[in-house]
């Protein structure tokens, strides 16, 4: 098999409205880089027409590969599965809804070529995101960074380019309920930020309802801090004393 320079992981849950446009823009960018590449679509148990569109695209373009989940396992699981299957020397993780502009990838790749192993997207501004989401995200990162000694850079998500050795290292970790942006910092290596303007979702609606957001937030805290365990212990001992 031909070696692959760049792999792109695109997790998708009910993204039938965006997939064709997402594919078009990714292909324009990746083919413009004049290197070998693959697009790895991960269908996270979509209940709409996503899988059908994926199949049509993959049939017509040998750059496209598909991972198809038996049910909805969640965004972090979809990206994790993608990481186990990518072949590239560098891997890009990007949302399907074009909030992370594919046009940033060449700039991220430049930093990788300069010698950085992790080039994480840092949001300069977020268009079209609710005041609620912006405020809760701000509070959350302040809180988790207090618990973890500033482990996670502010205003970063999962949009990033990571070197093969980082992919291999993260794949070797035993964590199940992953908080990838946290693990991505935790593993170390040479890291740098790539600033970008986060756009509005191109079409459709968020696939991260409050329930999923809370699970992600919980996994982030429990995965990176023993503080909740200590609080539980303290509470237990306190109640025992009271009893």
The least distance separating ligand UDP from the CB of residue 54, rounded to whole angstroms, comes to 12
The least distance separating ligand UDP from the CB of residue 126, rounded to whole angstroms, comes to 9
Site for ligand UDP in 98-117 (CB under 6 A): 99
Site for ligand UDP in 168-227 (CB under 6 A): 201, 206-208
* Helix residue ranges, H only, 61-153: 75-85, 105-114, 131-147
Work out whether 44 is an interface residue with ligand UDP (CB under 6 A): yes
User: Which CB atom, from 50 or from 99, has the smaller least distance to Mg ion?
Assistant: 99
User: Which CB atom, from 16 or from 225, has the smaller least distance to Mg ion?
Assistant: 16
Member of 9, 11, 178, 179 binding ligand UDP (CB under 6 A): 11
Instruction: Give the whole-angstrom CA distance, residue 93 versus residue 166.
Output: 13
Which of the stretches 93-101, 142-150, 165-173, 225-233 binds ligand UDP when contact is defined by CB under 6 A?
A: 93-101
Of the candidates 134, 117, 102, 109, the one whose C-alpha atom is nearest the C-alpha of residue 26 is: 102
User: Which CB atom, from 72 or from 145, has the smaller least distance to ligand UDP?
Assistant: 72
Q: Rg of the chain over CA atoms, in angstroms?
A: 19
For residue 18, the Cα-to-chain-centroid distance in whole angstroms is 17
Of the candidates 103, 124, 107, the one whose C-alpha atom is nearest the C-alpha of residue 116 is: 107
Work out whether 156 is an interface residue with ligand UDP (CB under 6 A): no
User: Which CB atom, from 46 or from 99, has the smaller least distance to Mg ion?
Assistant: 99
82-87: Cβ within 8 A, 24+ apart = 82/9, 82/11, 82/40, 82/42, 83/9, 83/167, 83/170, 83/171, 84/171, 85/40, 86/4, 86/7, 86/9, 86/38, 86/40, 86/167, 87/1, 87/3, 87/4, 87/7, 87/38
User: Which CB atom, from 123 or from 201, has the smaller least distance to ligand UDP?
Assistant: 201
12 contact choice in ligand UDP, Mg ion, none (CB below 5 to 8 Å, kind-dependent)? ligand UDP
The least distance separating ligand UDP from the CB of residue 71, rounded to whole angstroms, comes to 10
User: Which CB atom, from 11 or from 88, has the smaller least distance to ligand UDP?
Assistant: 11
Member of 39, 54, 74, 119 binding ligand UDP (CB under 6 A): 74
| C-beta of residue 88 within 8 angstroms of C-beta of residue 38 | yes
Member of 15, 17, 38, 155 binding ligand UDP (CB under 6 A): 15
Instruction: Give the whole-angstrom CA distance, residue 35 versus residue 144.
Output: 39
Instruction: Give the whole-angstrom CA distance, residue 155 versus residue 177.
Output: 21
Work out whether 13 is an interface residue with ligand UDP (CB under 6 A): yes
Task: Report the interface residues with ligand UDP, using CB under 6 A.
Answer: 11-13, 15, 44, 72, 74-75, 78, 95-97, 99, 201, 206-208
């Amino acid at each position: 098999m031909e070696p692959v320079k760049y792999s792109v992981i695109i997790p998708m849950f009910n993204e039938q409205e965006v997939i064709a446009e997402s594919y078009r823009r990714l292909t324009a960018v990746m083919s413009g880089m004049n290197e070998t590449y693959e697009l790895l679509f991960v269908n996270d148990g979509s209940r709409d027409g996503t899988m059908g569109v994926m199949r049509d695209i993959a049939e017509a373009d040998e750059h496209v590969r598909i991972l198809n989940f038996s049910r909805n396992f969640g965004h972090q699981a979809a990206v994790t599965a993608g990481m186990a299957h990518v072949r590239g020397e560098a891997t890009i993780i990007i949302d399907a809804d074009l909030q992370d502009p594919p046009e940033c990838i060449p700039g991220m790749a430049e930093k990788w070529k300069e010698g950085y192993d992790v080039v994480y997207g840092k949001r300069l501004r977020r268009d079209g995101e609710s005041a609620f989401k912006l405020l809760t995200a701000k509070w959350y990162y302040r809180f988790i960074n207090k618990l973890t000694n500033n482990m996670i850079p502010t205003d970063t998500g999962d949009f990033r380019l990571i070197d093969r050795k980082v992919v291999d290292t993260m794949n070797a970790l035993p964590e199940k309920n992953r908080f990838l942006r946290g693990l991505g910092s935790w593993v170390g290596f040479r890291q740098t930020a790539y600033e970008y303007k986060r756009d509005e979702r191109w079409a459709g609606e968020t696939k991260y309802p409050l329930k999923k957001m809370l699970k992600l937030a919980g996994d982030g805290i429990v995965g990176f801090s023993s503080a909740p365990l200590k609080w539980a212990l303290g509470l237990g001992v306190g109640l025992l004393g009271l009893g």
